[in-house]
Amino acid sequence: MHEPKRIELSVRQERAILVGAILPGDDHGGEEPLAELQRLAETAGACVVGHLSQKLHGINRSTYFGEGKAEELHGLCSALDADAVLCDHDLSPAQIRNIERITETKVVDRSELILDIFATHAKSRQAKVQVELAQLEYTLPRLTRMWSHLDRHGGGIGTRGPGERQLESDRRVVERRMRDIRRELAAIARRRRAEVAARREEFNVCLVGYTNAGKSTLLNALTGAEALVEDRLFATLDTKTRIWGLDESRRVLLSDTVGFIRRLPHHLVASFHATLEETKEADLLLHVIDISHPDCFHQAETVRQVLAELGCGEQPILHLFNKSDVARPSPEADLLASALGETLRISALRGDGLDTLARRVLETVARRETRVTIRVHCANGRLVACAHELGTVLATERDGEHLVIEARIEPRHLPALRSAAGPDDSVLVHERPSPGEAYKEVRP
């Protein structure tokens, strides 16, 4: 009896050629012009088999490159057996159609590539609907001519073909789905705001930075979280919040958010506003910068621009030069250090500088605190517990049936402290002194 012949099945990795126009004023900080596009392509699962770039004064409205370069791209696609052409800029539907006609190869622009990566990495319901909304907003203006093969020739009343009717039907379906998603995202945003408001009693710190700068690694190192860490772009899409103990008595909430990238599709920025609610409400932002990257200056500038677009440009921020253990001296790093002023060098992977980081954040928390003297009856355990939970107890003395507690506390916690006080208790707030002065008493 013969054994059945085994059939080996394999899935071919999509072969892609990267193309890009180098325009006047483009500065890649010593990095190859298509280096970031290559990382995006590899994150999306493509096998990069070729590159093609051209210096241009402006992008051709018809074929992106000139027609001669487009024909050269056709020959390259044939020679390398490419399945897709990935473009480093956003293309119009007409440009995509014309390049596909010339090269006889699928064309994907930068926004579509990023959206594809986000769709692959989205895990939670919130991330999935945010990505779907961004994809639909990208797709809607590109529905035109998808059904042109069904159109009748001619124009005027009575000459509309089934293609136009199908296009109108598709548009209604897409617009209806977008309305449904926006309602769902509005509900998610309300829940997110309520969650953030419920945590206002805690000091909130948020990690921001360029994608793959090491934010998730830093979150794990500081809090013991088990966030996904991978050496690829956009490995993290969902916001994660963990408790970070700064010392024995103080703790803060540390949140990790989605990374930014140059020319991030505006559809994604709009769709991810609910996710980025943590950033807008944070008491302190930790800007994680990959100082070992040759384009670190422009990456940091990209983060600044996105934060400004989100309305976070005026929030307190501490700049962290991550991966300093593998960074080499470079003009980009020197220029960035000069532009940012006060920075802190760390290595999230090795743990270098993390104790100093905790002390710096602790100083920021302490600067917001005020001195209080609490006189509490021994029977009021609630007020004693509240003082220890919401503040830092400096000293405790016994005075007959009362305890006198000296503590530091954030002003926003004072209402909760006073609500726990009974008729025989008192909470005396001291005026915050200027440097070199002593505390002054302030009667509530």
- Sign of the CA dihedral running 28, 33, 35, 41: positive
Please report the DSSP string for 120-187 in residue order: HH--SHHHHHHHHHHHHHHHGGG-TTTTGGGPPSS-STT---HHHHHHHHHHHHHHHHHHHHHHHHHH
Each of the 444 residues of the chain gets a pLDDT tens digit; together they read 455 444 444 445 889 999 998 888 776 555 678 888 998 898 888 999 999 988 888 888 888 888 888 899 999 999 999 999 999 988 888 899 899 999 999 999 998 888 888 888 777 787 788 888 888 888 887 775 444 444 444 443 333 445 456 777 788 888 899 999 889 888 887 887 777 666 666 788 999 999 889 998 999 999 987 766 666 667 666 678 889 988 776 788 898 887 888 877 766 776 666 567 678 778 899 999 999 988 899 889 989 988 888 788 788 999 999 999 998 888 888 889 889 988 999 999 999 999 999 999 988 888 888 889 999 988 888 998 988 888 888 889 998 888 999 988 888 788 888 888 888 888 888 876 544 444 444 444
Strand order of the sheet with strand 284-290? 240-245, 251-256, 204-209, 284-290, 317-322, 343-345
Q: Which of 305, 338, 365 finishes a domain?
A: 365
- 230 & 176 share domain: no
- 382 & 242 share domain: no
Residues 392/409, Cβ–Cβ less than 8 Å: yes
Closest CA to 48 of 72, 76, 29: 76
- 205 & 287 share domain: yes
Hey, what are 180's tokens?
């449904």
Distance from the Cα of residue 153 to its chain's centroid = 48
Closest CA to 369 of 257, 279, 271, 249: 249
CA–CA dist 120, 140 (Å, integer)? 21
Could you tell me which residues come within 8 angstroms of residue 119 by beta carbon, excluding any fewer than 6 positions away? 131, 132, 135
Query: For residue 180, is it within any domain?
Result: yes
Residues 344/353, Cβ–Cβ less than 8 Å: yes
Whole-model pTM: value is 0.75
- 177 & 293 share domain: no
Instruction: Give tens-digit pLDDT for 108-148.
Output: 999 888 888 888 877 778 778 888 888 888 888 777 544 44
- 69 & 186 share domain: no
pLDDT at 424: 86
- 275 & 419 share domain: no
- 190 & 256 share domain: no
Count of domains forming the chain: 4
pLDDT at 414: 86
Q: Which of 334, 365, 396 finishes a domain?
A: 365
- 383 & 356 share domain: no
Could you tell me which residues come within 8 angstroms of residue 381 by beta carbon, excluding any fewer than 6 positions away? none
Query: For residue 57, is it within any domain?
Result: yes
Query: For residue 186, is it within any domain?
Result: yes
Q: Which domain holds residue 380?
A: 369-442
Hey, what are 284's tokens?
């302190």
- 413 & 433 share domain: yes
pLDDT at 277: 67
Hey, what are 149's tokens?
């093969």
Q: In this structure, what is the dihedral angle of CA atoms 399, 403, 404, 410, given to the nearest 10 degrees? A: -170
Residue 167 Cα distances to 135, 144, 146, 151, 276, angstroms: 17, 7, 8, 10, 35
Domain of residue 230, CATH code: 3.40.50.300
Instruction: Give tens-digit pLDDT for 410-423.
Output: 887 888 888 888 88
CA–CA dist 230, 236 (Å, integer)? 9
Residues 299/290, Cβ–Cβ less than 8 Å: yes
Domain of residue 407, CATH code: 3.30.70.240
CA–CA dist 8, 130 (Å, integer)? 39
Domain of residue 74, CATH code: 3.40.50.11060
Instruction: Give tens-digit pLDDT for 209-261.
Output: 998 899 989 999 999 877 666 666 676 666 788 899 887 767 888 988 878 88
Query: For residue 250, is it within any domain?
Result: yes
pLDDT at 300: 92
Residues 262/36, Cβ–Cβ less than 8 Å: yes
Could you tell me which residues come within 8 angstroms of residue 250 by beta carbon, excluding any fewer than 6 positions away? 362, 365, 392
Query: For residue 116, is it within any domain?
Result: no
